[in-house]
Amino acid sequence: MKILVTGATGNIGRMVVDELLARGASDVRALTVDPTKAALPAGVDVVKGFVGRPSTLPAALAGVDVMYLAPHVPTAPEVCRLAADAGVRRIVDLAGAKGEHWQAIEDAVEASGVPWTHLEPGEFMANAELWAPQIRAGDEVRDAYGTVANAAIAQEDIAAVAAHVILTDGHEGRSYELTGPEALSRRDKVAAIGQALERDLAYIDLPYDQALTQFEKTMGEHAKWYLDGLAASVGHPQPALPTVAELTGRPATTYVEWTRRHQGIFR
């Protein structure tokens, strides 16, 4: 089975390549913008290209059985049509919550007529990097809407699910909502980071206007969208689901575990 991993040097795509190899996949093709800098493992068929430039894909798609589709909304319909024309037999796509921004990817995949599996992760634990400068500078995290809760997921777990779904049968036509193993408020997440770092961190809730000013420094024009999204989530916690454990056969990564693995971000 020939597997094409698009976005193979992205945050999750590279992990998917590594997971596939660890599980014994022997015919992996990786699509990357710069094969020289990619430094992908030996044995991987590295092809230059980008899902954002569909003209670069025909050679990469030749002979492919399963494609892992990295999320890129603007070109998803054309990429999926090319995959169908190339005879790809299944697409495993990385999207997000149904009905939101990433829905366009799922729509494009289904419209192609190629059998599909949708992966729908929520917030990534890696988003905690937004707090890293404050944590490196002191023991306070000044943020907003500290009670907003969700079950953030480790990107490593998303990659593990993707590899499992690619290499095993029975996933066609399935949508898998992926979460971490516990629903935590933003305040609880900061406390979990503190626990992993053996520090006592305080979460300081800022009024909307102050939070917007702070977020604009790091998010620019996306700050208001992000802050308004937090406001809309108050009182609507995302429940933790067992999907990762059910598919991979191992527990999903906890927030404390993730921080311990990536503590260099905060030190």
DSSP string, the chain: --EEESSTTSTTHHHHHHHHHHTT---EEEEES-HHHH-PPTT-EEEE-BTTBGGG-HHHHTT-SEEEE---GGGHHHHHHHHHHHT--EEEEE--STTSTTHHHHHHHHHTTS-EEEEEE--BGGGGGGGHHHHHH-SEEEES-TT-EE--B-HHHHHHHHHHHHHSSS-TTEEEEE--SS-EEHHHHHHHHHHHHT---EEEEPPHHHHHHHHHHHHGGGHHHHHHHHHHHTT-PPPP-SHHHHHHSSPPPPHHHHHHHTGGGG-
Position 189: which residue type?
K
Strand 116-121 and strand 174-178: pairing? Answer: parallel
Q: How far apart are CA 227 and CA 207, in angstroms?
A: 11
Q: What angle separates helix 76-86 from helix 103-111, to the nearest 10 degrees?
A: 30
Is residue 267 helix, strand or coil? coil
Cα angle vertex 36, ends 32, 40, to 5°?
A: 65
Q: What angle separates helix 223-233 from helix 208-219, to the nearest 10 degrees?
A: 130
Predicted local distance difference test score (pLDDT) of residue 224: 96
Burial 141-164 (b: 16+ CB within 10 A, else e): bebbbbebbbbbbbbbbbbbbbbb
Domains of the chain in start order, with CATH, are 3-121 (3.40.50.720), 125-152+181-266 (3.40.50.720)
Please list the pLDDT of the chain residue by residue as tens digits (267 residues).
Answer: 999 999 999 899 999 999 999 999 999 999 999 988 888 998 999 999 999 999 999 999 999 999 999 999 999 999 999 999 999 999 999 999 998 889 999 999 999 999 999 999 999 999 999 999 999 999 999 999 999 999 999 999 999 999 999 999 999 999 999 999 999 999 999 999 999 999 999 999 999 999 999 999 989 999 999 999 999 999 999 999 999 999 999 999 999 999 999 999 999
Position 64: which residue type?
V
Is-contact 81 55, C-beta < 8 A?
A: no
Could you give the strand order of the β-sheet that contains 3-5, starting from the edge strand earlier in sequence? 45-48, 28-32, 3-5, 66-69, 90-94, 116-121, 174-178
Predicted local distance difference test score (pLDDT) of residue 108: 98
Predicted local distance difference test score (pLDDT) of residue 21: 97
